Structure 1
Amino acid sequence: MGRLWTSSFIILTISMLFLFTSVCLLIPTLPFFIKNLGGTESQVGIIVGTFTISAVIFRPIIGGFLDRYGRKPFIVFGLILFLVLMCFYNWVSGLWILILLRFLHGIGWAISTTSIGTAVTDIVPTTRRGEGMGWYGLAMTISMAVGPMLGIWLLQKYSFHGLFSVAIFFSIIALLLGLILKLPIQFQHKARRIELFDSSMFPVGLAIVFLTIPYGGITAFLPLFVESIKVNAGTFFLMYAVSLSFIRPIAGKLTDRYDESVVIKLSVIISSMALLVLSFSSGLVGVIFSAILYGIGFGSAQPAIQTYMINLARPDRKGIANASYFTSFDLGIGLGAIILGWIYPFIGYQYLFIVCAISIMISYFMLVIILRRTRKITSHYNYLKTNNPKNLSTKDQQM
């Protein structure tokens, strides 16, 4: 089956754990920081979304360079840039400075996460790709459990300065792990053109955008919503992460054993149900139940869809495939935070999360069509390959 738990896989996963935790510290606390600087709900959405929008812009560029020049240099550079910019939060004194910082920080996030994610797909055995991406994704899950709770505690006990200092410390650990990482040198011939986009990824990427728009709303507005109903925001993220931790390895193995479409379709439906529950929540029980459902649904969908996109790509385009996945992921989060911030004053929290549920169902119907089309193409290709290989074009033989 191939060895999964290599030293490189473990180092990459732990590095992502600390990197992602430093970001998760800011998920429930940054809206309060923006409010402290005099920002409104709409400005909260814009500033939260700026981070991911900048990542969207730079991920395709990074993906192309990864396929040409290799992974390690970009891992180290991305982590250094991320760390340096994290240090500047303690000196932010106005909203425009914060917007600029979030934009630049998103670049560091794009470089580091795309290069680490691509390096993971390089070293995970193909036959255990779903399982490997599930365990790798568990690092982000644990971050979502620890980060928000720790962020709120640090804010209450040590103020924003203590919060940002701990985020800096976690970023340093991620960088140190990146420095000791050993990866084989991987780059293509210099004459090869750098590719930034793969059109075959676009339909799936668009579906991911609609799937992740609600997460942008959650990161920007859930802390403010649950505070209005006297619930600690950390409770949602903790229960979300606990259910995510439980389902991720299981979903990864199911993806390897069965067709990805089964896991994808079921998980997307559960995600939509979670947002409907959240929209009608008026206390702790509803918030916990919605968090558990969202963890199961969204947590299962992520590794399954990422595995599906990687399997669609040629071996020399895994960097582009990972960049496409993360670009779509970030674009949905960024657009969700910004667009939902614009419409919130007109509809309120309840209908805001209903809109999120509708967005997920749009993603569901798109994925059903995409998966059905892929299955037909694959079946036709296998038929030609088995019965008359001469009918295959050179392009088909490279699939």
Structure 2
Amino acid sequence: MSEVKESIWTKDFIIVSVINFMSILMFFLLMVTISSYAVETYSVSTSIAGLVSSIFIIGTLVGRLGAGRLIGAIGPQKILLIGLIGLFIMSALYLLEWGVGYLLTIRLLQGIAVGTIGTATGTIVAYILPASRKGEGIGYFSLSAILATAIGPFIGMFLMKLENGFDVIFYLNIILSVLILIGFFFAKITITMKKVDPKEEKKLSLLEKFIEPKAIPVSFIALLIGFSYSGVMSFITFYAKQIDLVEAASYFFLVYAIVIIFSRPFTGKLMDSRGPNLIVYPCIIVFALGMVLFSQASAGWMLLVAAALIGFGYGNFNSIAQTVAVKVTEPHRFGLATSTYFILYDLGLGVGPFILGFIEPHTTYRMIFTMMIPIIIICIPLYHLLVGRKQKAL
């Protein structure tokens, strides 16, 4: 009987994880292709193409901020449904070509929908997982997101090679948005949110009503890590052409995903038994090594080894950091902790391509990725100072 209670793989957990996977798959399917679409369709500059890519993530910030606050009032189930409906509508509107301003607006609004969905699914999972296996469970759940960040770009880069590839991508997103909306109604999620005492609510500052302060330290590290990775995600197609490794680059995210699949199960278990530090420090180091190899790649094998290192380092850091953000928080603020983590993490991913797009005309992509290495390395002492020294086996 106790084994049943401690089970991770319930029907609701699987459905919510699939919803999370497919919504983020749509996110990253467009993330690596929309810059090229903007350039080819509207002849925009590199910086504007970067904005078209990154404004989606700015939208997720807005979605997460609102969802984190509203979850406590109306529950994560209703918030999830609202996000799924919004995602379907915005996905359909990509079929219209009404100028770059329209494209930026759709990207922003779809980002709000994805941010809403991500916050809702993350909160639901934090509630339904058993406490003794929360690290392992969130590890598997975040695997759905990390796999989407790998498979989405892989599919996107493949479809771009087809005639009318962008249209195929847009129609695929519509189909996926319909499927996950249908999937929602197969789950029977019953989460009763703890009612916050009005007196306690009045004691909270305006910031505390939207942000979980306890989750900020680890979320700030995630912001820096996300910023360091954002250029890989948004500009790998341009970089691959510049260094003449287009074919190898098409397999980059596939290798990245395979490494995560095989490493995630044991990193989550180690988190639960030994605490986060045992995983976080090596992950940051491996991520830095991967970026060194990525920035200096001159052969296909170098790019693919870099994909493996980045997959292990960057991919596993995110699940552990998300778990820390939730575990240091009271249950009735899981929604805010989840949104706080992803607000800062997404901010790093969103601002990165826009800033790097301005830098690119004055340098090379190789130099841009080299510049990310010290940012990753500085996360080691920062993590120790802000988070690591306070952590034990949770």
Structure 1 gap ranges (5+): 383-399
* CA distance in 2: counterparts of 1:23 and 1:374, whole angstroms: 34
- 2:70 is the counterpart of 1:65: yes
Alignment partner of 2:300 out of 269, 277, 284: 284
Aligned length: 378
Q: Indicate if the aligned counterparts of 2:147 and 2:257 stay in contact, CA closer than 8 A.
A: yes
* CA positional deviation for 1:372: 4.1
In structure 1, the residue matched to 2:169 is 163
Q: Which amino acid aligns with 2:346?
A: D
SS at 1:242 equivalent: helix
Deviation at 1:189, TM superposition (A): 3.1
- Who is 1:388 aligned against? none
Q: Deviations over 1:35-94 (max 9, x none)?
A: 112122211221111111122233122112112321110111101101110111111342
2:187 matched residue in structure 1 = 181
Residue matched to 1:199? 213
Contact 1:213 1:332 in 2 (8 A): yes
Equivalent AA in structure 1 for residue 184 of structure 2 = G
Q: Which amino acid aligns with 1:199?
A: P
How far apart in 1 are the matches of 2:95 and 2:65?
30
SS of the residue 1:91 aligns to: coil
1:282 is aligned with what amino acid? S
Contact 1:68 1:190 in 2 (8 A): no
Secondary structure at 2:250's aligned position in 1? helix
Code of the aligned partner of 1:323: S
Q: Could you list the runs of 5+ residues in structure 2 that have no partner in the other structure?
A: 202-207
Aligned to 2:190, the other structure's residue is in SS state coil
| Cα distance between partner residues in 1 of 2:138 and 2:327 | 12
Pairing 1:18–2:32 present: no
Question: Which residues of 2 match residues 8-87 of structure 1 at below 5 A?
Answer: 8-36=12-40, 37-87=42-92
SS at match of 2:167: helix
TM-score normalized with structure 1 length: 0.90
Question: How far apart, in 2, do the equivalents of 1:121 and 1:189 lie?
Answer: 17
Is the CA contact 2:276–2:324 (under 8 Å) kept in the aligned structure 1? yes
- Counterpart AA for 1:102: R
Partner Cα separation in structure 2 for residue 312 and residue 329 of structure 1:
17
Match of 1:390 in 2: none
Deviates more, 1:108-117 or 1:181-190: 181-190
Return the match for 1:362 from 370, 378, 381: 378
Q: State TM-score, norm by structure 2.
A: 0.91
When residues 344 and 146 of structure 1 are mapped into structure 2, their CA distance, relative to the original with a 3 A threshold, is same
Partner of 2:339: 323
| 2:95 and 2:170 in contact (8 A); partners too | yes
8 Å contact 1:76–1:179 — kept in the other structure? no
Q: CA RMSD of the aligned region, Å?
A: 1.9
CA contact (8 A) 1:25 1:151 kept: yes
> Is structure 2 residue 230 aligned with structure 1 residue 230?
no
Query: Equivalent residue for 2:290?
Result: 274
Of 346, 368, 372, 1:352 maps to: 368
Whether the 8 Å contact between 1:141 and 1:245 is mirrored in structure 2 is no
- Seen in structure 2, the aligned counterparts of structure 1 residues 22 and 58 have a Cα distance that, compared at 3 Å, is closer
* Alpha-carbon contact 2:64-2:342 (below 8 Å) kept: yes
Q: What SS does structure 2 have at the residue aligned with 1:293?
A: helix
- Deviation of residue 363 (structure 1)? 2.1
